[in-house]
Structure formats: structure tokens, C-alpha cells
């Protein structure tokens, strides 16, 4: 039962093949059995999950169940959950019990889905390897000596190992797509503003966007149907109707124009990854798509622009953790200044402190124009590159990462090499367009991902393009050995 997709679990529940309590129990048992190896959960909410599952079963008995009632899922520990620890994988929030639900959490509850627990992540979503968690690093189920990617690495590892059929993620510079690629999953970062950020702990507010991590595009469509939509509590949420993402999954790809950006096929790209992407492109040609070479001339500036903008916004967002209002407070402060300094010094991990310092620096009076303003100008150029490209093509296709999952510890002491990991994903966040990663093959038994990017609010098209590929390939069906 643990290998069922969301769509299959929902169908099984409707057909009364099993109850929500049974399927919830299956996943809770697997978490107990396997998570010691992976460290993918920070909190498991076993009792609450079983209560919710029994309630769901009551709905089935009464005929009041919805499409997804009783289907288990997990939340990245960045989403506030009433009465449940919401740590953002930081010592700073280790003692924080959220007093309210994020809108995303409310929506899953309204859909009747059952939360199994909260998944591990990089502290405050800063990282690409899940080694920056206060609760320890997460292991990749395909190879326990390797990283699952980050920052949504706990979510990705848990879904890949079939400890939950889906988990939420957030993507500021690639944190849904990169772990999806490294763990053989389907992950979508929607258009900025499509999914509410209310109650999603802020890292870089102009880039952060929540989305689902799933095994299939069909499931991703179901989950985005739950997550997407206007929220008056989030002033950057876009008031625009949400299509039924499941309805167009089977549209034909005949005549679809796919763009391959020459900047994504660089010499640093692992040749085996390049070969896998080439093979995927051939599949699309068979499905009737036409392939076009395009250029995104400014995307090579994505990383430097991002590592000014994201730290700037983070330094401002994380100013709220002052040891006074909530979160960690140091022991026996001498005075107020000592309280601030030591609470923040002891509460934040090294990477978070590095970003706060960079952010404070680039925003300081003497450097604002040279760094922050420049980065914002580059951001406009990158956005324009995409707008130009989408005049010529319908979707943009390329690799999600340069190579498969790297070893734990391999880049941990080298922040710049870690930052380079997101070379293909960050541009979509800077522009605010939707991006998706889907399984596209294996290199030395490690999964790799193919990235699809679309124009603003074209999530339905990305899901359609992904689903059609998954109908003719079986990469996404592979299970990591030992799970």
C-alpha cells in the first residue's frame, strides 16, 4: 500500500478498499521503521494523524467525503501548524509551538488530508543539501552517503522512501526542484503569488514560494489544486482564478514549442546528465513537440544577483528573532544588548549568520547602490530574458542540476560551491515564473531531474507537459533499494 500515489490512495478510499486509518497506519509504521536511516522528519504527529484519519473515515461512512479526504501527507517544518512545533530546523525556533495555521496548512485540512508530521529542512530554508539543520542532516534514500538536496530535503527523502505519499516544500532559489531532482521526484514551484505565503516562515519574501513534492505530475496537479489560490492574508498573493490542474493533464503536445536555452548546456554539465536530457527531448519530439534553440543572455548573473537579494531580505526578515518575543532566549542575559547578541548568536546556525551579515552589508548606506540596487537591475534583465523567450516558445527545458546528488560533507565547508548548485533553478525565482523538476533518468544509479519552466501562471501547461512524458517513461516509478 505504501507505493500508492495520492490519486490511487484517493481512489482506494472511495472504493472502500482500505480506510484512512489503515493507510495512515501504514505510513506511520514506515516512518518508525525507516526514518532513523534518513532523519527526514523533525516531528511525527502520530496521535493527531490517527484522530484525523478516523474523522476522515467517518466522512466516508456518512457520504460527506471529498476527493482527497483521508489521504496522508507531510508538511515541511517551515509551515506554521497550530499546536505543533514549527522549528524551521533552527535552534531559534526549537521551542516554538505555532499559535495558528499557515494558509497552506488550512487548505490541506479543509481538503480533509491527514498530516503525518513535519519534515526536516535546511535552517530557515538556507541551503542545498539539508546539512544546515539544527536536527542533523537528512540522507538521500538512493544512497545514504549522499545529500537529498535542500532546503526541502526532508520532504524529498520522505516521499522518495515512501514514508509519505506527498510533502510540501518551499522554493526560494530551487529548494523544491533541486531535491526533487536528487531524489527522483516531481516537484513544482508555482508562479510567485500563486500559493499563499501566510504562515510560511519567511526567508526571502520576494522569492519564496510553496509547492508540492510528489512522485507523479498527476499527483502534483491534485496537490496544487489544494494549495493554489488567492489569500487576503498575504498581500503578495494574486487574485486570479485557479484552473483545475488535473483537467488538462492529457492535452496533446502536438505543436508544443520547447525551448532549449544554450546557457543551460554548459561544459560543467555532467555529460551523462546532458545525454539523459537529450533523450528526454527526443521523447518530446515523438509526442509532437518542436524543439528550438533559445538564449537567456543574462541568466549567468542569477547566482550573484540572488546572493545579494536573498541575504538582504533574510537579514530583514530574521531581525524578528530577538530573544524577546518568541523563540530561543539565552541564559542569564546581563542587559538588553547581551540578550539580543547572545540569543541570536546562540540561536542561529553558521549559514544563517553568514547570510544575515551579507544582507546587512549589502543594504548598508554606503553599499546599497553598488550591490542591492544593481542586483535588482539584473533581476529585471533576467525577467525580460524570459519574457522574450516566451514570445518564441511555450516551455523552456533543461537540466535541474549539473550532476546527481553529491556526498554528505563534500561541499559543506565551501559555501560558494554549495551556492553554485542552484545555477539552473534560481532564475525562475528571480523572474517569478513557475518551474518544475521531473525524473529524467539515472547516472550511476542516482536519479537526475529535468527542469521545465513556463510563463507566468502556466502551471497547468507544465503539469501537462510533465504528465505526457511520464506516460511514456518509467523513471518516476523507480523505488530506492532498501525501502
Binding mask 72-111 for ligand GLN (x = CB under 6 A): ----------------------------------------
- Label residues 324-357 b or e (16+ Cβ within 10 Å = b): eebbbbbeeeeeeeebbebbbeebbbebbeebbe
10 Å CB burial of residue 225 (0-12, 13-18, 19+) is: buried
Q: Is 130 in the site for ligand GLN (CB under 6 A)?
A: no
Interface positions, 347-406, toward ligand GLN (CB under 6 A): none
Of the pair 284, 406, the CB lying nearest ligand GLN is at 406
168 is a contact residue toward ligand GLN (CB under 6 A): no
Our finding on whether 310 is near ligand GLN (CB under 6 A) is yes
Pick from 10, 89, 125, 224: which binds ligand GLN (CB under 6 A)? 125
Is 432 near ligand GLN (CB under 6 A)?
Answer: no
Indicate the residue among 171 and 263 with the shorter CB distance to ligand GLN. 171
- Which alpha helices (DSSP H) does 125-205 contain, by range? 153-160, 177-183
Cell of 326: 518568541
The count of other CB atoms within 10 Å of the CB of residue 197 is 24
Backbone dihedral angles phi then psi of residue 34, each to the nearest 5 degrees: -110, -20
Catalytic residue among 40, 87, 175, 237: 175
> Who contacts 399 (Cβ-Cβ below 8 Å, separation ≥6)?
264, 265, 269, 273, 274, 277, 424, 448, 449, 450, 451
Pick the piece of the chain touching ligand GLN (CB under 6 A) from 172-180, 235-243, 399-407, 459-467. Answer: 172-180
* Residues facing residue 441 across a β-bridge: 448
Figure out which of the listed residues 117, 127, 165, 449 binds ligand GLN, where binding follows CB under 6 A: 127
CB of 98 vs ligand GLN, minimal distance in Å: 19
Sketch the per residue contact string, 194 through 213, with ligand GLN: x for CB under 6 A, - otherwise. Answer: ---------x----------
CA dist 52 and 39 (Å) reads: 24
d(CA 457, CA 77): 26
422 binds ligand GLN (CB under 6 A): yes
Interaction of residue 128 with ligand GLN, rule CB under 6 A: yes
In whole angstroms, how close is the CB of 126 to ligand GLN at the nearest point? 5
155 is catalytic: no
Which residue reads 503536445 in cell numbers?
Answer: 253
- Catalytic residue, from 19, 20, 40, 76: name it: 76
Stretch of residues binding ligand GLN (CB under 6 A), selected from 87-95, 165-173, 242-250, 272-280: 165-173
- Per CB under 6 A, the list member of 69, 119, 175, 343 interacting with ligand GLN is 175
In terms of Cα–Cα distance, which of 182, 152, 178 is closest to 167?
152
13 vs 158, beta carbon nearer ligand GLN? 158
Minimum distance of ligand GLN from residue 99's CB (angstroms): 24
CB of 374 to ligand GLN, least distance (A): 19
Q: Please give the span between the terminal C-alpha atoms of the chain, in angstroms, as a whole number.
A: 13
Query: Is 449 near ligand GLN (CB under 6 A)?
Result: no
Q: Work out the number of other CB atoms within 10 angstroms of the CB of residue 172.
A: 28
Check residue 126 for interaction with ligand GLN (CB under 6 A).
yes
Shortest distance in whole angstroms from residue 172 CB to ligand GLN:
4
CB of 10 to ligand GLN, least distance (A): 29
Please identify, among the stretches 6-14, 81-89, 120-128, 220-228, the one whose residues bind ligand GLN according to the rule CB under 6 A.
120-128
Sign of the Cα torsion 31, 33, 38, 42 reads positive
- Interface pick for ligand GLN out of 165, 173, 323, 404 (rule CB under 6 A): 173
Is residue 151 part of the contact set for ligand GLN (CB under 6 A)?
yes
Q: Does 6 bind ligand GLN (CB under 6 A)?
A: no
Residues in a beta bridge with 212: 168
Any catalytic annotation for residue 189? no
Query: Does residue 151 carry a catalytic annotation?
Result: yes
How far apart are the C-alpha atoms of 397 and 382, rounded to whole Å?
16
We find the least distance from the C-beta atom of residue 306 to ligand GLN, in angstroms, to be: 7
Among 70, 117, 165, 174, which residue sits at the site for ligand GLN (rule: CB under 6 A)? 174
Contacts of 401 (CB under 8 A, 6+ apart): 149, 178, 181, 182, 273, 421, 424, 425, 448, 449
Neighbours of 376 (CB within 10 A): 15
- Residue 172 makes contact with ligand GLN by CB under 6 A: yes
CA proximity to 386, closest of 450, 429, 423:
429
Which residues does 408 contact at the CB level (< 8 Å), separation at least 6?
129, 131, 137, 139, 145, 146, 147
Answer yes or no: are the C-beta atoms of 119 and 74 closer than 8 Å.
yes
Binding footprint of ligand GLN, residue count (CB under 6 A) = 14
**131 scored as a contact of ligand GLN (CB under 6 A):** no
- Beta partners for residue 118, in sequence order: 43, 75
Say which of 20, 151, 196, 343 is annotated catalytic. Answer: 151
Residues taking part in catalysis: 76, 151, 175
Binding stretches for ligand GLN (CB under 6 A): 125-128, 151, 170-175, 203, 310, 422
Amino acid at each position: 500500500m505504501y507505493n500508492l500515489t495520492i490519486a490511487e490512495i484517493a481512489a482506494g478510499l472511495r472504493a472502500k478498499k482500505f480506510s484512512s486509518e489503515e493507510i495512515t497506519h501504514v505510513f506511520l509504521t514506515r516512518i518508525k521503521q525507516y526514518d532513523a536511516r534518513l532523519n527526514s522528519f523533525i516531528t511525527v504527529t502520530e496521535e493527531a494523524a490517527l484522530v484525523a484519519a478516523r474523522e476522515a473515515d467517518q466522512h466516508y461512512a456518512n457520504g460527506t467525503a471529498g476527493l482527497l479526504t483521508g489521504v496522508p501527507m507531510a508538511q515541511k517544518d517551515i509551515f506554521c501548524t497550530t499546536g505543533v512545533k514549527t522549528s524551521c530546523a533552527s535552534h531559534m525556533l526549537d521551542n516554538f509551538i505555532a499559535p495558528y495555521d499557515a494558509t497552506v496548512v488550512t487548505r490541506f485540512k479543509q481538503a480533509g488530508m491527514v498530516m503525518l508530521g513535519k519534515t526536516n529542512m535546511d535552517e530557515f530554508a538556507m541551503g542545498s543539501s539539508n546539512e544546515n539543520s539544527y536536527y542533523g542532516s537528512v540522507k538521500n534514500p538512493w544512497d545514504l552517503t549522499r545529500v537529498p538536496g535542500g532546503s526541502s530535503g526532508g520532504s524529498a527523502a520522505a516521499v522518495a522512501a515512501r514514508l509519505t505519499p506527498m510533502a510540501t516544500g518551499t522554493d526560494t532559489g530551487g529548494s523544491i526542484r533541486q531535491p526533487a531532482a536528487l531524489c527522483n521526484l516531481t516537484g513544482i514551484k508555482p508562479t510567485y503569488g500563486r500559493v499563499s505565503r501566510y504562515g510560511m516562515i519567511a526567508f526571502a519574501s520576494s522569492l519564496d514560494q510553496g509547492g508540492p513534492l510528489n512522485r507523479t505530475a498527476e499527483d502534483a496537479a491534485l496537490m496544487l489544486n489544494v494549495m493554489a489560490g488567492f489569500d487576503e492574508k498575504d498581500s503578495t498573493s494574486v487574485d486570479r482564478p485557479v484552473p483545475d490542474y488535473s483537467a488538462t493533464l492529457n492535452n496533446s503536445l502536438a505543436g508544443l514549442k520547447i525551448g532549449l536555452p544554450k546557457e543551460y548546456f554548459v561544459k560543467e554539465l555532467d555529460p551523462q546528465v546532458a545525454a539523459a536530457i537529450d533523450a528526454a527531448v527526443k521523447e518530446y519530439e515523438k509526442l509532437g513537440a518542436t524543439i528550438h534553440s533559445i538564449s537567456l543572455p543574462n541568466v549567468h548573473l542569477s547566482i550573484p544577483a540572488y546572493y545579494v537579494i536573498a541575504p538582504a531580505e533574510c537579514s530583514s526578515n530574521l531581525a524578528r528573532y530577538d530573544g524577546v518575543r518568541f523563540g530561543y532566549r539565552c541564559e542569564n542575559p546581563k542587559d538588553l544588548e547581551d540578550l539580543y547578541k547572545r540569543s541570536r548568536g546562540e540561536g542561529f546556525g553558521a549559514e544563517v549568520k553568514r547570510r544575515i551579515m551579507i544582507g546587512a552589508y549589502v543594504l548598508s548606506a554606503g553599499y546599497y547602490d553598488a550591490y542591492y540596487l544593481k542586483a535588482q537591475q539584473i533581476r529585471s534583465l533576467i525577467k525580460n530574458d524570459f519574457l522574450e523567450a516566451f514570445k518564441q516558445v511555450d516551455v523552456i527545458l533543461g537540466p535541474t542540476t549539473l550532476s546527481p546528488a553529491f556526498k554528505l560533507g563534500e561541499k559543506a565547508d565551501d559555501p560558494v560551491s554549495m551556492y553554485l548548485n542552484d545555477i539552473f533553478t534560481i532564475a525562475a525565482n528571480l523572474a517569478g515564473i513557475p518551474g518544475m523538476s521531473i525524473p529524467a533518468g539515472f547516472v550511476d544509479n542516482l536519479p537526475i531531474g529535468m527542469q521545465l519552466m513556463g510563463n507566468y501562471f502556466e502551471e497547468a501547461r507544465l503539469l501537462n507537459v510533465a504528465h505526457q512524458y511520464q506516460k511514456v517513461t518509467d523513471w518516476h516509478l523507480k523505488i530506492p533499494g532498501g525501502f
